[in-house]
Amino acid sequence: MHLLMEIAWTHVSTRIRQTVVASLGVAAGIAITIMMASLMTGDQQDFTRTLVDSMPHVTVNAERRTVRLQPAEQFYAAAQATSAISAKKLTEIKNPRDVMESLRSWLPGAVAPSMKTTVIIHSGQKSAGVTLVGIDPRFEQNVSKLASQMQGGQIDDLYKGTNALIVGKALAKKIGLRVGSVENISTGEGMVVPASIVGIYSTGQAELDEAQIFGLIRTAQVLAGQPGVINELRIRLGDSRDAPEIAKRVEAITGYRAVSWQEANADLMSAFAIRDIIMIVIMSAMMFASTLGIYSIISTITQEKRRDIAIMKSFGMKAGLVLSIFLVESAIMGAIGVVLGWALGYLLCAAMTQVTIANPITGAAVPLPLAFEPLHYIVVALIALASCFAAAFVPSQNASRLLPVDIIRGGVA
Amino acid sequence: MTTAIQTVGLTRRIPGAIARTLVSNVDLTVEKGEFLAITGPSGSGKSSLLYLLGLLDAPTEGEVSLFGQATSLLTESQKADLRLTEIGFVFQSHYLLPEFSALNNVLMPMKTLNRLSSQEMRDRGISLLTSLGLGTEIDKRPFQLSGGQCQRVAIARALANDPGIVMGDEPTGNLDSVSSEQVFSILRDLANKGRTVCIVTHDLTLAARTDRQVRLVDGKIEKISLFRKKAVALEGKAAGKR
């Protein structure tokens, strides 16, 4: 198809202005689409990373998804158990050591035990209800980023005192805590004990920092009045995206409710899904707008080339070849636009990384999160080329259907 | 003498509110190697008849046969193939492609047919242009050539695939007398060398120098007149055959 390329290339190369305008239209659409996609994906990744870093990928709770049938209910259809009261107040994970051992044998990640309970922390006249997570410092670094989120003190400082606690920065600010201070904490039982603050952490999520404090497992067990009880296993995986699948497996094996971080943040996940849809709609609209340029320019070219088309058909060129000529022309302009758009989009992204915004919590200037995803470039290019093809199709087909007589009879050029 | 073009009851109507008959019931036979002129007043349908003969347009009724082959049942694509190989068109305007050089314009039908190697095409294109006195102009674009030169390039393009039939629609209509004479003598020469040439013209002096003139009025053949010498020759041959 040497002739086809020759004619198409001659048309686009002798009409530089039109070619440039059409290509720039495509390029602008591609560049902006790539930038938007990078920004939205980058932001989403950044947000997810913060979220995932501040919580276990899978949390195994000492509870079951469905309430167990009482023996009477199992055997007698008419029996109905109401107000059945468990002997123990707190549920627990039985034989946590064995459960952990069996999980470790196949889990692509780490698992750590913890004991969660609720306490009230007092500081002067102020107090706050918080969740105390009793952890084992030896395992903690395998399942959370707490070590890297410490802003004062270290995790191992938990060993350095009776009822040593690590509190979130937001909480410390709210009720006035600092490393080294000794405060009272009270439990649901009405017990009040002194506790020393040995560390401060910050995840970047104020809500979480305000609601969660850390201590040793033993501390939490004592305060809950449940010595020896573990009520939560926290799992961190090599790849956080595997969490839902792993959670399902853990739940099937252990019988305890295992919640992936995606499940725990289902509302966020659905918000992300909506964002993705918005992104696709905006991308399509942009590509549509930029290919309108291709449509109008191919229409113009075919209009201006009516005479040439007539003569080519008169000496025996077939409609299919004429159609291909103009489709190839639009593909050439589209391809130039794609390459320009890639470069422009990359530069735009690079420029955007120079823009910083102040983190509302830390006040630090952080660069805009941008993700460089080759997939964006490929998908946008394919959409652009397909749109160019579609945009050029109608005018090209009209051109290929021209009857030579109609134009030649039309008169003298 | 074999037949190049034959029509039977050839009719072309334009349908619509104001229906018009462009060509009406034309029976015409053109022998191979004959130089035919179609004349008539403007609007008489002479160009329409030429387009029907050259398969650029399809008749409403009737049949055009080229070299004994009926064409009414051919597809558009088959007709395009016939135009590519057997018919060369020259129009009043040269209709050269403005972005391409003289040579590339001539090469275009050859490349469309794609039967020769690119070197053979190039050689043939150059020799065609040289034979028409354009040997030094092959790389010039149409806007760099005079009207007469462009028309000669157009003739070279019409001859690109060595067609049996050359059709001219007022081929000298836009030219000054010198160029007109040049172009006409090229066509005359083609016919002398065995090609069938049909032209539409309103120039009766030129028409008189062809082998035969068909005068069309209101789409109908009014008169067929033979150029005397050729007529004698034709009659003689016909007699000889018998």
Q: Are B109 and A315 within 8 A, CB to CB?
A: yes
Amino acid at A390: A
pLDDT score of A90 more than 70: no
Q: What pTM was computed for the model?
A: 0.72
Q: Could you tell me what percent of chain A has a pLDDT over 70? A: 94
Task: Mark whether A138 and A250 lie in a shared domain.
Answer: yes
**A255-272 burial code (b ≥16 CB/10 A, e <16):** ebbbbbbbbbbeeeeeeb
Q: CB-CB: which of B80, B92, B160 is closest to A318?
A: B80
Using an 8 Å CB-CB cutoff, list chain A residues near B151. none
ipTM over 0.90: no
Q: Which two tokens stand for residue A398?
A: 């009209």
Task: Mark whether A195 and A288 lie in a shared domain.
Answer: no
Q: Are A412 and B174 within 8 A, CB to CB?
A: yes
Residue in chain B closest to A308 (alpha carbons) equals: B97
SS3 letters for A359-413?
Answer: CCCCCCEEECCCCCCHHHHHHHHHHHHHHHHHHHHHHHHHHHCCCHHHHHHCCCC
**Mean predicted confidence (pLDDT) in B137-148:** 92
Task: Mark whether A19 and A103 lie in a shared domain.
Answer: no
Task: Mark whether A68 and A36 lie in a shared domain.
Answer: no
pLDDT score of A37 more than 90: no
* Domain C-terminal end among A222, A255, A288: A255
* pLDDT at residue A361, rounded to an integer: 60
**Residue B42 in contact with partner chain A when CB distance is under 8 A:** no
Nearest to B209 by CA among B196, B195, B223, B199: B199
Task: Mark whether A67 and A48 lie in a shared domain.
Answer: no
Strongest mean pLDDT among A108-112, A233-237, A382-386, B100-104: B100-104
pLDDT band at A346 (very low <50, low <70, confident <90, very high): very high
Nearest to B231 by CA among B211, B204, B209, B208: B211
E-only strand ranges, A24-108: 58-61
Q: Are A409 and B109 within 8 A, CB to CB?
A: no
Q: CB-CB: which of B76, B83, B93 is closest to A314?
A: B83
pLDDT score of A295 more than 90: no
Strongest mean pLDDT among A40-49, A78-87, A99-108, B47-56: B47-56
* Helix and strand totals (H; E) in chain B: 8, 10
Task: Mark whether A147 and A232 lie in a shared domain.
Answer: yes
**Mean predicted confidence (pLDDT) in A189-200:** 87
* Domain C-terminal end among A215, A234, A255: A255
Using an 8 Å CB-CB cutoff, list chain A residues near B112. 3, 312, 315-317, 321
pLDDT band at B229 (very low <50, low <70, confident <90, very high): low
Which residue range forms the structural domain that includes residue A42?
2-52+268-409
Q: CB-CB: which of A14, A312, A409 is closest to B99?
A: A14
DSSP string computed for B76-118: HHHHHHHHHHHEEEE-SS----TTS-HHHHHHHHHHHHT-S-H
The total domain count for chain A is: 2
**Mean predicted confidence (pLDDT) in A345-356:** 89
pLDDT tens-digit profile of B24-42?
Answer: 889 999 999 999 999 998 8
**Number of CB pairs, chain A paired with chain B, less than 8 A apart:** 75
Q: Are A408 and B56 within 8 A, CB to CB?
A: yes
pLDDT band at B241 (very low <50, low <70, confident <90, very high): very low
Within-domain flag for A108: yes
Within-domain flag for A273: yes
Please give the Cα distance from A339 to A385 (Å, whole number): 11
Higher pLDDT, A177 or B197: B197
The A residues from 282 to 341 touching B (CB cutoff 8 Å) are 307-308, 310-319, 321
Residue in chain B closest to A319 (alpha carbons) equals: B77
The structural domains of chain B, ordered by start, are 35-44+83-241 (3.40.50.300)
Task: Mark whether A112 and A249 lie in a shared domain.
Answer: yes
* pLDDT at residue A355, rounded to an integer: 86
pLDDT tens-digit profile of B99-127?
Answer: 999 999 999 999 999 899 999 999 999 99
Which residues lie below 8 Å from residue A216, measured CB to CB, with a gap of 6+? A134, A135, A136, A137, A158, A159, A164
Which residues lie below 8 Å from residue B156, measured CB to CB, with a gap of 6+? B102, B106, B125, B128, B129, B132, B134
Task: Mark whether A91 and A207 lie in a shared domain.
Answer: yes
Task: Mark whether A291 and A385 lie in a shared domain.
Answer: yes
Within-domain flag for A400: yes
Kindly report the average pLDDT of chain B as a whole number.
88
Pick among A311, A323, A325, A403 to test the B interface (most B CBs inside 10 A): A311
CA distance B141 to chain A (A): 13
Task: Mark whether A345 and A247 lie in a shared domain.
Answer: no
Please give the Cα distance from B135 to B138 (Å, whole number): 6
**Mean predicted confidence (pLDDT) in B66-90:** 91
Three-state DSSP class for residue B46: helix
Within-domain flag for A318: yes
**Mean predicted confidence (pLDDT) in A321-344:** 92
Kindly report the average pLDDT of chain A as a whole number.
84
Please give the Cα distance from A173 to A400 (Å, whole number): 75
Please state whether beta strands A182-187 and A109-123 pair in parallel, antiparallel, or not at all (unpaired). antiparallel
pLDDT score of B209 more than 60: yes
Q: Which two tokens stand for residue A46?
A: 């950044």
Please give the Cα distance from B128 to B135 (Å, whole number): 9
Within-domain flag for A57: no
Within-domain flag for A40: yes
Within-domain flag for A193: yes
Residue in chain A closest to B46 (alpha carbons) equals: A409
pLDDT score of B167 more than 60: yes
pLDDT band at B157 (very low <50, low <70, confident <90, very high): very high
Task: Mark whether A242 and A278 lie in a shared domain.
Answer: no
Q: Residue A231: how many CA atoms within 13 Å on its side-chain side?
A: 20
Q: Are B169 and A408 within 8 A, CB to CB?
A: yes
Task: Mark whether A284 and A240 lie in a shared domain.
Answer: no
Q: Are A321 and B93 within 8 A, CB to CB?
A: no
CB distance A384 to A338 below 8 Å? yes
* Domain C-terminal end among A255, A290, A311: A255
Using an 8 Å CB-CB cutoff, list chain A residues near B58. none
Q: CB-CB: which of A10, A307, A318 is closest to B95?
A: A307
**Mean predicted confidence (pLDDT) in A177-188:** 85
Residue in chain A closest to B106 (alpha carbons) equals: A315
* pLDDT at residue B102, rounded to an integer: 94
Which residues lie below 8 Å from residue A23, measured CB to CB, with a gap of 6+? A333, A334, A336, A337, A340
